[in-house]
Amino acid sequence: MVKLIGYDIERKKMLSVIREEARETFMYTGKKAFDERILKVMGSLPRHEFIPRGVRAFAYDNSPVYIGHGQTISQPYIVALMTDLLSPEPFHKVLDIGTGSGYQAAILSRLVDKVYSMEIVRPLAEKAIQRFHDLEYDNIDVKVGDGYDGWPEKAPFDSIIVAAATPVIPIALVRQLKPGGVLVLPLGEAFNYQQLVAVHKSLQGEISTRYVLPVSFVPMVGYHRNDTTL
């Protein structure tokens, strides 16, 4: 495993900022603090290894970082919030849409039993696969494909997380949720008009939607349908 010596102070500062922002956004999220299991994992992961070498100085800043191909790695606070909204458990199977650098999938891999991650940009997917191998994250499977359709062969999932904005809630993803599951995604088209949304499926299969927080994500690549939406 990669040693984190040299980044200790930066990681501690990152966690401090996440905790502070959680308190500041309580009126939106209803959460004054995030699950400490999640923060412990984020404090132990080498985020700098998931960021291009030329911008690693910004690895632990609370801001998104460009990773190439028009994509970014989300800011740590948003990663913590979205992960917390999933309520991950050790026995869970999670679908991660938008692998990107692999950072979100790596965090989930330390919290759940199995992570299935999808990325439409092949070079990013290939780099993530190699990164998972090098860093020994061995419970993540990666598929190159359009995450809008999900991964039906591996469904159902205890939770689904989407790291790119879509103007509608994909019904395919809702269908691939287990009863009692949750789908977390940014909803909207323009960067300045998006909302983080949590879609819950009850044990009886009923769907409820909660708007959590204004956000700004890159748009989902490959979205082109308007007939498979919730």
Residues that are catalytic: 74
From the CB of residue 69, how many other CB atoms can be counted at a distance below 10 Å?
A: 15
DSSP state of 170: B
Neighbours of 23 (CB within 10 A): 10
Dihedral of the alpha carbons of 37, 72, 65, 10, in degrees to the nearest 10: 10
Q: H helices within the chain, ranges in order?
A: 8-24, 26-29, 36-44, 76-86, 103-109, 122-135, 171-175
B/e letters for 150-170, b = 16+ CB within 10 Å, e = fewer, are bbeeebebbbbbbbbbbeebb
What does the block give as tokens for 24?
Answer: 């500041």
Structure tokens at 214: 């204004």
Calculate the dihedral angle through the C-alpha atoms of 116, 200, 36, 103, rounding to the nearest 10 degrees: 30
